[in-house]
Amino acid sequence: MAKVLTIHGGVPLKGKVTVRGAKNLVPKAMVAALLGDSPSVLRNVPEIKDVAVVTSLLKIHGVTVSKDEVTGDLTMDPSGTKTATSNEIDTHAGDSRIPILFCGPLLHSLGEALIPNLGGCKIGDRPIDFHLDVLRHFGAEIDKAGPLGTSIRAPHGLTGAKISLPYPSVGATEQVLLTAVRAKGTTEVENAAIEPEILDLISLLQKMGAIITVGRDRVIRIIGVEKLNGYNHKALPDRNESASWASAALVTKGDIFVEGAAQRDLTAFLHTYRQIGGEFEVTDDGIRFFHPGGDLKPLILETDVHPGFMTDWQQPLVVALTQATGVSIIHETVYENRFGFTNALVEMGAKVQLHSECLGAIPCRFGQRNFQHSAVITGPTPLTGADVDIPDLRGGFSHLIAALAAEGTSHVTGIELINRGYEKFMDKLTDLGARVEMNEIA
């Protein structure tokens, strides 16, 4: 039975939603619990798919994971960590990209790691070459990449290394951190990612006893220690979910208070939001986002690594730009294939043209390589309801808010993908006044 979400559009979304811990931190914090020699407690944990996947992966590796039914806090006890069977591992093939981050902690505890074939959103090739190079620098041996995944061993232990990343990759930087904290000696990583979620992971590792400094110019130094203890940590709020609801308020001409949204992690987004004509009010408890009336303004924008405009904010914002008066240009510099979602917007009435040229000033790895990674959006164009199949998490959210703003009715399939990053999504939509209903079809 497939689920179909029917959306009757044209209703401004109004009310309050609460965002909890960041999808791009929480699963990694759960992996870090493997590094401790005592239980860790993680707070502000959202009910999303990656949390369920990592819970299951931890359990098959002998970690006891218990959830406080009232608060949702997770307690993870790694004292029984053991090798999982390849069959157990294989049940997680294609589920998520997080399993690649189990390598360092498992190599430290067990001397070996078997990683299933990875999943995650289809927004480009998403290779793992940086991760495997990082692990080789520490002395790991990558035995095979066969049908059951990747098998990695460290028969002589892991030793700190000097690493220079080809790109400030979030995942590869996390790979370095989760491996270096218990490796012998010092590690220095140049060209590291410094996203807020990375800094939160560093805070949590510091609580465990790790020695880490973040230097100038994206250089992180880690002095390995033999033992780490468990942590007690409250995950930072999800800035991507916050930005998504902000765009939903703008697109539907609504007014949404995002409880838990943190201004300090959203500076580049808030700047852009105001530039195109959205308004916001920051309070201690969250941020109110609203359409103040009048025309939205077009803009020229490039996605970038932190502190730039994040690639995950781009897709919902594109929907808002279809309603701006004039021509907007977006140059996507993080992923080569993150505009596929615009096809459905065009079907709904938007005018979006894709180009393989770099329409921007940031040097990007995708120019002259046939990747349609620049978009020209002409607005305003009325949107009408359509039948849409969700392609990935953020693209899917954009389709949903386009359908919520559109005249008429839309039918959306593939809605399960939204659970990867948006907790209690249907409840939130209903609370905001959306006219939606979920049905099942054979």
State the Cα–Cα distance between residues 11 and 405, nearest whole angstrom.
7
Inter-residue contact 179 to 134 (CB < 8 Å) = yes
Q: What angle in degrees, to the nearest 10, is found between the helix axes of 129-137 and 170-180?
A: 20
CB of 77 or CB of 174, closer to ligand EPU: 174
- The correct pick among 421, 425, 428, 434 for binding ligand EPU (CB under 6 A) is 421
Question: Is position 333 an interface residue for ligand EPU (rule: CB under 6 A)?
Answer: no
Decide: is 374 part of the binding site for ligand EPU (CB under 6 A).
no
Which of 103, 121, 358, 364 is the catalytic position?
121
Tell me how far CA of residue 191 lies from CA of 166, 362, 420, in angstroms.
7, 16, 28
Q: Least separation, in Å, of the C-beta of 119 and ligand EPU? A: 11
Which region, judged by CB under 6 A, interacts with ligand EPU, from 118-126, 184-192, 349-357, 410-418?
A: 118-126
Measured from the CB atom, the residue of 165 and 296 that comes closer to ligand EPU is 165
User: Taking CB under 6 A as the rule, does residue 129 contact ligand EPU?
Assistant: yes
Stretch binding ligand EPU (CB under 6 A), from 120-128, 209-217, 249-257, 408-416 = 120-128
Residues 221-250 within binding reach of ligand EPU (CB under 6 A): 240
Q: Using the structure block, give the residue that is written with the tokens 């949702």.
A: 72
> What is d(CA 305, CA 353) in angstroms, rounded to the nearest whole number?
24
144: annotated binding-site residue? no
Please report the DSSP string for 126-190 in residue order.
Answer: ---HHHHHHHHHTT-EEEEEETTEEEEE-TT--B--EEE-SS--HHHHHHHHHHHTTSBSEEEEE
Q: Is 334 annotated as a binding residue?
A: yes
121 counts as catalytic: yes
Q: Which range touches ligand EPU (CB under 6 A), out of 78-86, 105-113, 117-125, 223-231?
A: 117-125
167 interacts with ligand EPU by CB under 6 A:
yes
Query: Alpha-carbon distance 97 to 117, whole Å?
Result: 9
312 is in an annotated binding site: yes
Contact in structure between 230 and 209 (CB atoms under 8 Å): no
Among 393, 400, 401, 404, binds ligand EPU (CB under 6 A): 393
Closest distance to ligand EPU from the beta carbon of 167 (Å): 5
Residue 397: CB minimum distance to ligand EPU, A: 9
- Residue 24 is assigned to a ligand binding site: yes
Minimum CB–partner distance for residue 425 and ligand EPU (Å): 14
Report the chain's C-alpha Rg in angstroms: 22
Query: Does 121 sit near ligand EPU (CB under 6 A)?
Result: yes
- Three-class secondary structure of residue 442 per DSSP: coil
In angstroms, give the least distance from the CB of 240 to ligand EPU.
Answer: 5
Stretch that binds ligand EPU, among 80-88, 127-135, 137-145, 351-359 (CB under 6 A): 127-135
Closest contact distance (angstroms) between CB of 243 and ligand EPU is: 11
**CA–CA separation, 162 vs 223, rounded Å?**
12
Question: In this chain, which of 1, 69, 80, 127 binds ligand EPU, going by CB under 6 A?
Answer: 127
Q: What is the dihedral of CA 39, 44, 49, 53, to 10 degrees?
A: -10
* Residue 23 marked as a ligand binder: yes
Rounded least distance, CB 428 to ligand EPU, Å: 17
- % helix / strand / coil in the chain, to the nearest 5? 35, 25, 40
DSSP state of 11: -
Per CB under 6 A, contacts with ligand EPU among 57-76 are none
* Binding flag, residue 44, ligand EPU (CB under 6 A): no
Element (H, E) at 110: helix 103-110
User: How many CA within 13 A on the CB side of residue 245?
Assistant: 33
What does each C-alpha distance from 239 to 67, 205, 235, 245, 301 come to in angstroms? 24, 21, 12, 10, 19
Site for ligand EPU in 176-195 (CB under 6 A): 193, 195
One-letter amino acid at 343 equals N
Q: State how far the alpha carbon of 77 is from the alpha carbons of 32, 35, 36, 39, 61, in Å.
A: 11, 10, 9, 4, 11
Kindly tell me which residue out of 7, 17, 24, 57 binds ligand EPU, with binding defined by CB under 6 A.
24
Shortest distance (Å) from residue 169 CB to ligand EPU? 3
Residue sitting closest to ligand EPU (CB): 171
Going through 178-277 in order, the beta strands assigned E by DSSP cover 186-190, 211-214, 220-223, 232-234, 255-259
Residue numbers in the known binding site are 23-24, 97, 312, 334
Which residue positions form the known binding site for UDP-N-acetyl-alpha-D-glucosamine?
Answer: 97, 312, 334
Annotated binding site for phosphoenolpyruvate: 23-24
Residues annotated as part of the active site = 121
The residue ranges that bind ligand EPU (CB under 6 A) are 23-24, 97, 121, 124-131, 167, 169-172, 193, 195, 240, 311-312, 334-335, 393-394, 421
